[in-house]
């Protein structure tokens, strides 16, 4: 039997309505609600709150940050705290994040005293820019991609592995996933079924923002 249910979306959280056909936005008493269709597979539904780390000094310097640790600016710290406030009324079961320092610092500021299991996983790291790492974005020839860098196809495939990992280990849970601009874009593409050739249709997430992805196993 199919049952309709309303769930109020907390302010500041975007809902990705393309990832699951049972979710859409509709006005409800001046607010927005998610109409979610509940069925026998409900317990297998995976809810991801995908977030990007706060602004870093390296972001401002416009360098290829890649696997560098990264250092949050004061604005980045404020963004992380604001992220936590946007999530404070959302029931979460766990946190999965990149292991890089800028993400770890963001998680600590965002989560605060909430007692949640937290896994740092290298699978969720930013793209590896290889020999471009640490270099100014404007100093390289974009037509000559370094041979030691992670290619777009490799990153796209890794994003698929990120989703597979979450489906395997977090089935039926609500999970905060904190990572980086490029890997997040690819995770969103994989979740929506958007092929690599159309990746640029998905804008890079801004620092300290989050989007909800709902995935049925």
What is the C-alpha radius of gyration for the chain, rounded to an integer number of angstroms?
18
d(CA 35, CA 24): 6
Q: Is 188 domain-assigned? A: yes
Q: Distance between alpha carbon 8 and the CA centroid of its chain, in Å?
A: 21
Handedness of CA 117, 33, 199, 71 (dihedral sign): negative
The model's confidence at residue 209, banded by pLDDT at 50, 70 and 90, is very high
The model's confidence at residue 214, banded by pLDDT at 50, 70 and 90, is very high
CA dihedral 130, 134, 136, 139 (to 10 degrees): -50
The predicted pLDDT at position 69 comes to 98
Q: Domain range holding 149?
A: 43-216
The domain total for the chain is: 1
Q: Is 51 domain-assigned? A: yes
Q: Is 96 domain-assigned? A: yes
Residues 158-173: tens digit of each pLDDT: 999 999 999 999 999 9
Would you say residue 217 has pLDDT above 80? no
Would you say residue 13 has pLDDT above 70? no
Q: Is 10 domain-assigned? A: no
Judge whether 82 and 112 are in contact, CB under 8 Å: no
Q: Which helix (H) or strand (E) holds 82?
A: helix 74-87
**CATH classification of the domain holding 101:** 3.40.50.1240
Q: Is 33 domain-assigned? A: no
d(CA 159, CA 83): 23
| Number of alpha carbons in the 13 Å side-chain half-sphere of residue 172 | 5
Please report, for the chain, how many H helices and E strands are present, in that order.
5, 9
Q: Is 19 domain-assigned? A: no
Q: Is 129 domain-assigned? A: yes
- pLDDT, mean of residues 70-82: 98
| Average pLDDT score, the chain | 85
Q: Is 130 domain-assigned? A: yes
């Amino acid at each position: 039997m199919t049952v309709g249910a309303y769930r109020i979306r907390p302010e500041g959280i975007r809902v990705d309505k393309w990832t699951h056909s049972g979710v859409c936005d509709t006005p409800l008493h001046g607010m927005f609600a998610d109409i979610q269709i509940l069925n026998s597979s409900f317990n297998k539904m995976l809810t991801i709150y995908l977030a990007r780390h706060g602004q870093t000094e390296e972001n401002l310097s416009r360098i290829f940050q890649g696997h560098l640790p990264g250092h949050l600016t004061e604005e980045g710290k404020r963004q992380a705290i604001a992220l936590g406030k946007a999530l404070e009324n959302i029931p979460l079961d766990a946190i999965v994040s990149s292991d890089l320092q800028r993400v770890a610092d963001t998680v600590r500021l965002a989560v605060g005293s909430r007692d949640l299991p937290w896994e740092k996983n290298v699978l969720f790291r930013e793209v590896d820019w290889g020999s471009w790492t640490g270099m100014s974005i404007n100093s390289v020839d974009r037509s000559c991609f370094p041979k030691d860098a992670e290619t777009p196809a490799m990153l796209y495939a890794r994003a698929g592995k990120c989703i597979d990992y979450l489906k395997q280990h977090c089935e039926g849970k609500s999970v905060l996933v904190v990572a980086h601009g490029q890997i997040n874009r690819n995770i969103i593409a994989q979740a929506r079924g958007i092929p690599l050739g159309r990746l640029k249709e998905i804008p890079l997430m801004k620092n300290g923002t989050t989007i909800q992805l709902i995935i049925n196993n």
